[in-house]
Amino acid sequence: MNCCEECGHNLNNVEVKAYEKRQVFDIPPVNLIVTEHQSQIKICPCCGRLNKAEFPESVNSPVQYGPNIVASAIYFKNHHFIPYKRISELFHDVMGIKISSATIIEAERECFQNLEEFENVIREKLLSSPVIHCDETGMKVHGKRHWLHVASTDKYTCYFAHPKRGSEAIDAMGILPEFKGVAVHDGWKPYNGYNCDHALCNAHLQRELIGIEESYKQQWAKDMNELLSEMKKYTDECKEQGKYLDFEQVKALEKRFDTVVAKGIEENPPSLNPERQGKRGMYPKTKARNLLDRFIEHKEKILRFLKDLKVPFENNQAERDVRMMKLQQKISGTFRTTRGAEAFCRIRAYISTIRKNGLPVLEGILAALKGAPLAIP
């Protein structure tokens, strides 16, 4: 600045009054670091034997990629769901190296093996939790239908791939059969067979209530939806303000629940339920009556959140954890092998868990490759 913009006065000898700062952030050019290891070779002058010095244990090929490159590839594949081919293209464009799908798959296999004990720890953490969330979703493995099961909390995640959806898979996962706390789920029948307390996802039920209200114009569905929202508001306020549940208020809300159910029974008498006669003279129930019967049969599971503040209103935790796995399938498609699906489940569960605990993902993958996964509280 040489002169005043207003009057043109020379400013060369004028003292600087202040500075206005602006910053530009950028990344430096990527320069590949090549470390060459040399092993001495000597021939014994006495017997003529050729002797070679040992390379470091981690250096086992004439040319190989270091842990930072391999960890980055696993990070892109299992955290951001980038397909193998695009990871190869990314490394070529950014670093000028050609890393093959086989190299990444082999690194994932090593990471998978190193995380076996971590997975066992997560199972133990979930088993000792007062509340866990459960859900399942379909997945494709070598072109065939498989099922992805999840058990999780806000701190821990366990994924499990299995050809079956029901109890056989849940048993093989090894969590619900031994769990003694509260399992939150969507009410799918196999879950109810396990010897623990259960809580149903009320967000699911509210969506069904809205459907009944719109399709059947039934007042009980509208009233129940509003009542559940009121109950949720009350329990949320208790949690936020650190208050205990008021027994009398809980009792009053539960009484209103029974009143709405009674109204539902009036709106769905047996004579109104048949839509067509089925076999043996039996009449199928309407969707409205089916939903009402679930509110009658599973009242305790539906209202568990109202009597225990540790129990959430919905199953959003498991649904969020499942959603990320569905996203992977949309981006990368089917798994080629069962082993590949199992590796992804274990690595992704590790990533999910360390993220929930505020730990760095890339550093965590690097630690797992070295055989020392990050510890969690």
Give me the sheet containing 144-152, strands edge to edge.
Answer: 157-162, 144-152, 131-141, 182-185, 197-200
Lowest mean pLDDT among 2-6, 131-135, 314-318: 2-6
pLDDT above 60 for 275: no
pLDDT at 244: 96
pLDDT above 80 for 145: yes
**How would you class 143 by CB atoms within 10 Å of its CB: exposed for 0-12, middle for 13-18, buried for 19 or more?**
exposed
pLDDT tens for 277-336 read 555 555 678 999 999 999 999 999 999 999 999 999 999 999 999 998 888 888 887 899
The answer to whether residues 249 and 234 touch, using CB atoms and an 8 Å cutoff, is yes
Quote the pTM value. Answer: 0.89
Q: How many CB atoms lie within 10 A of CB 302?
A: 22
pLDDT at 332: 81
CA distance 183 to 191: 8
pLDDT at 31: 86
pLDDT at 272: 57
pLDDT tens for 206-231 read 999 999 999 999 999 999 999 999 99
Q: How far is CA 131 from CA 156, 197, 236, 295, in A?
A: 11, 9, 17, 22
Between 248 and 269, residue with greater pLDDT: 248
Share of the chain above pLDDT 70, in %: 97
pLDDT at 273: 53
- Outline where DSSP puts E strands in 225-309: none
